[in-house]
Structure 1
Amino acid sequence: MRIGLLGTGPWAELAYAPALRGHSEVDFVGVWGRRPEAAGVLAERFGTHPYEDVDALIGDAEAIAIALPPAVQAPLAVRAARAGRHLLLDKPLAIEVSDARAVVAAVREAGVASAVFFTSRFADEVRQWIAEQARRGGWFTAHAAWIGALDGGPFADSPWRREKGALWDVGPHALSVLVPVLGDVRAVAAATTGPGDTVHLVLRHDGGASSTATLSLTAPPTAAGSTVELRGDHGVTVMPSSERTPVAALDRMIDTLLDSARTGCSHDCDAAFGLRVVEILTEAARRLPADAS
């Protein structure tokens, strides 16, 4: 499948471009970026072609991968879907619910495949653990912690992460694990803030389970990490750590998109699930204290 990449930032360089170059069933046809010089550098490094016109790249591809801020991603995803291109998307799908709905509508109208890169859902160890816990059932509560240290990392200069904070950057990861195990979020029961951009959520799920989530991008580097703990009829279980790189998880997501394009069967992490996550995050943001930054 011929796939083009939109985006030239750290995530495109660290994850998307290596995965697209290395996948045996993909022809990495080109890169477009909002800074043409950056597209040229990335294209040269990964053996593909820079594009100055985004529509030209969309026209030359069968699928489009997007590694751009969510507010930029959504309209370009709509544009690509309307051109009949399958979509590899990043989380969150959008910031505004209306923009996420527009992506889903375009995907459905065009009949194209889509997948959203919730990293844990495509890491083999974690993916298998999620499937097993969902099959077992009987969980009555869970706690998720997704703790990052933005300063000093590759995304330290990301304007949208600085503006939207942990709720929108790592919140999607927590929801992508909690929802398939405990069921859809019926209500955001409470939301409050902690140090820096830290957010604490209390969620009620379909079927009666509850969960809490602690999210932060402003923790000390030594405190960073992610975990999910489930408690229920089977005792206590903790999400395994993944030894795989983001490139390996993206490789799995590309497999998923190829399979969906061949069969017409949607993956659990398609654009529709991405929309649901945006809806939950929007409700959580509404419940934060009025003085939350």
Structure 2
Amino acid sequence: MSVPAFSFDLSGRVALVTGASSGLGRRFATLLAASGAKVVIGARRVELLTELADEIAASGGEALAVTLDVTDEASIIAAYDAAATRFGPVDTVIANAGLNVAGSAMGLNVDDFDRMVSVNLRGVFLTVREGARRMVAAGARERGNGRVTIISSITAHQPAAGIAPYAATKAAVAQMGRSLAKDWAGKGINVNVLCPGYVATEMNEAIWDQPAGAALLAGFARPRVMDEDALDALILFLSSDASRFMTGSVVTLDDGQTL
């Protein structure tokens, strides 16, 4: 993958990306590595991570694949330990792991509800808290180089049928991100939240040909989904020294889909 024209130099940074085995997480990991960061890629499907790490290495980047379950604090700690052993302390975290179980709230299995809360809310908290602890121990207060980006969703502030628990978790992490930003502002750690709209990925490409997807698309101010590279510039900015004065922001990037 080539570095975009708006390149931010992330040389010297060590980044952890959760949910990196597919979709946006995979994109973010590749992008950060192409911009000079050493990248730790975490997810449960380690075979996909190994393929991604090999691709990054073949392009001249550095990546470490780690098995990571964000619902398990011991797994998170182990991932950060592996990162420190291979590359040094993590100073950049992209908390991207998440899941959705769509369907009528009246028929939703409580176990599926608990899984969404466990991954989308508790998992984000455990991931960024451990990252913040490591950043402080490594001197983030003095350097001001800690960067945490939480991936939320436009459903955090735009109601949508059939995904009430998912939307609730995304709203929760947006508020949590703002609160953590205030907690950690004096510790040299910036925390920001990104609320993307619908992005074209392999995971959702079939949706838009179905009646429900076509109806959703027709309701957008611009009847289209965003290209896969739509978030690139913002992810790089939030991960870089250029964002040193930005913390506590909840940024919507959706091509006007919520208008």
Whichever structure has more strand as a proportion of its residues is 1
TM-score (norm 1): 0.39
Look at both structures and tell me which one has the larger radius of gyration over its CA atoms.
Answer: 1
TM-score (norm 2): 0.42
